[in-house]
Amino acid sequence: MNRVLLYFVYILFSLKGVFAQEKFSSPNGKTTINVSLKDNISFNIISENQIVINNIKTLLNLDNQKLGYKPKLRKKKTQEKREIVKVPFPLKNEKILDYYNEVELTFDDYAIQIRVYDRAVAYRFITSFEKEITITDEELEITFPKETLAYFPKEDSLYSHFERSYLKTKIDTLKNTDFCSMPVLMKKKNGLNILISDADVYDYPMLFFKGTSSNSLQAKFPKVVLATQPHPDATDRIAYITKEANYIAKTNGKRSFPWRFFYFSQKDADLITQDMVYLLSRSQEIKDVSWIQPGKVAWDWYNANNVYDVNFKAGLNTATYKYYIDFASKYDLEYIILDEGWSKSTTNITAFNPEINVKELINYGKKKNVGIVLWCLWEPLNRNMETILKTYHDWGAKGIKVDFMQRADQEMVNFYSNLAKKAAEQQLIIDFHGGFKPAGLRRAYPNVLTYEGVRGAENNKWGNFLTPDHNVTLPFIRMAVGPMDYTPGAMENRQPENHYISFNRPASIGTRAHQVAMYIVYESALQMLCDSPSSYLKDQKTVEFISQIPVTWDETIVLDAKIENKVAIARRKNDTWYLGIMGNQNEQEITIDLSFLSEGSYNAKIFRDGINANTFAEDYEVTTQAVSQDKRLTIQLAKGGGWAAILQPIK
Q: Which CATH superfamily is domain 295-454+475-492+522-552 in?
A: Aldolase class I (3.20.20.70)
**Active-site pick, 270, 403, 492, 531:** 403
Q: Rg (Cα) of the chain, in Å, rounded?
A: 26
Of 263, 233, 228, the closest CA to residue 243 belongs to 228
Residue pLDDT, tens place only, 252-274: 999 999 999 999 999 999 999 99
Residue 22's pLDDT is: 87
Do domains 295-454+475-492+522-552 and 455-474+493-521+553-651 share one topology? The answer is no
pLDDT tens digits, 499-528: 999 999 999 999 999 999 999 999 999 999
Measuring CA to CA, which residue among 600, 586, 615 is closest to residue 648?
A: 600
Distance CA 235, CA 239 (A): 7
Q: Are 277 and 440 in contact (CB under 8 A)?
A: yes
pLDDT digits (tens, 9 = 90+) for 17-70: 444 678 999 999 999 999 999 999 999 999 999 999 999 999 999 999 999 999
**Where in the chain are the domains?**
23-279, 295-454+475-492+522-552, 455-474+493-521+553-651
The tens digit of pLDDT for each residue in 64-88 reads: 999 999 999 999 999 999 999 999 9
Predicted confidence (pLDDT) at residue 3 exceeds the cutoff of 90: no
Query: Using 50, 70 and 90 to split pLDDT, how confident is the model at 172?
Result: very high
The pLDDT of 108-133, averaged and rounded, is 98
pLDDT at 170 over 60: yes
Per-residue pLDDT at 11 exceeds 50: no
* Whether residue 6 has pLDDT greater than 50: no
Residue by residue, what is the 3-state secondary structure of 423-479?
HHHCCCEEEECCCCCCCCHHHHCCCEEEECCCCCHHHHHCCCCCCHHHHCCHHHCCH
CA 118 from centroid of its chain's CA atoms = 23
Residue 383 reports pLDDT greater than 90: yes
145 close to 188: Cβ distance less than 8 angstroms: yes
pLDDT of residue 20: 65
Catalytic member of 178, 339, 452, 458: 458
CA atoms of 647 and 604, how far apart (whole Å): 4
In tens, the pLDDT along 203-238 reads 999 999 999 999 999 999 999 999 999 999 899 998
403 given a catalytic annotation: yes
Cα–Cα distance between 77 and 67 in angstroms, integer? 19
Count CB atoms within 10 A of the CB of residue 54. Answer: 16
Cα gap 441→282, rounded to integer Å? 8
pLDDT of residue 5: 39
240 pLDDT tier (thresholds 50, 70, 90): confident
- Is 458 designated active site? yes
pLDDT in tens, 576-605: 999 999 999 999 999 999 999 999 999 999
Q: What is the mean pLDDT of residues 368-388?
A: 98
Classify 625 as helix, strand or coil. strand
Q: Strand 149-152 relative to strand 184-187: parallel, antiparallel, unpaired? A: antiparallel
| pLDDT value, residue 21 | 78
**Which residues contact residue 159 at a Cβ distance below 8 angstroms, ignoring those fewer than 6 apart?**
240, 241, 406, 407
Beta pairing class for 448-451 and 259-265? unpaired
Q: Does pLDDT of 197 surpass 70?
A: yes
Q: What is the mean pLDDT of the chain?
A: 95
Residue 554's Cβ-count burial label (10 Å; 0-12, 13-18, 19+) is middle
Widest distance between CA atoms in the chain: 101
**Entry pTM:** 0.95
- DSSP-derived 3-state class of residue 262: strand
Q: What is the pLDDT of residues 523-567, one digit of tens each?
A: 999 999 999 999 999 999 999 999 999 999 999 999 999 999 999
- Strand 193-199 with 184-187, pairing: antiparallel
CATH fit for domain 455-474+493-521+553-651, picks 2.60.40.1180, 1.10.600.10, 3.60.20.10, 1.10.8.60: 2.60.40.1180
Q: Are strands 66-67 and 50-62 parallel, antiparallel or unpaired?
A: antiparallel
Q: What fold is seen in the domain 23-279?
A: Beta-galactosidase; Chain A, domain 5 (2.70.98)
Q: Judge contact between 137 and 61, C-beta under 8 A.
A: yes
3-class DSSP assignment, residue 270: helix
Q: How far is CA 499 from the centre of its chain?
A: 28
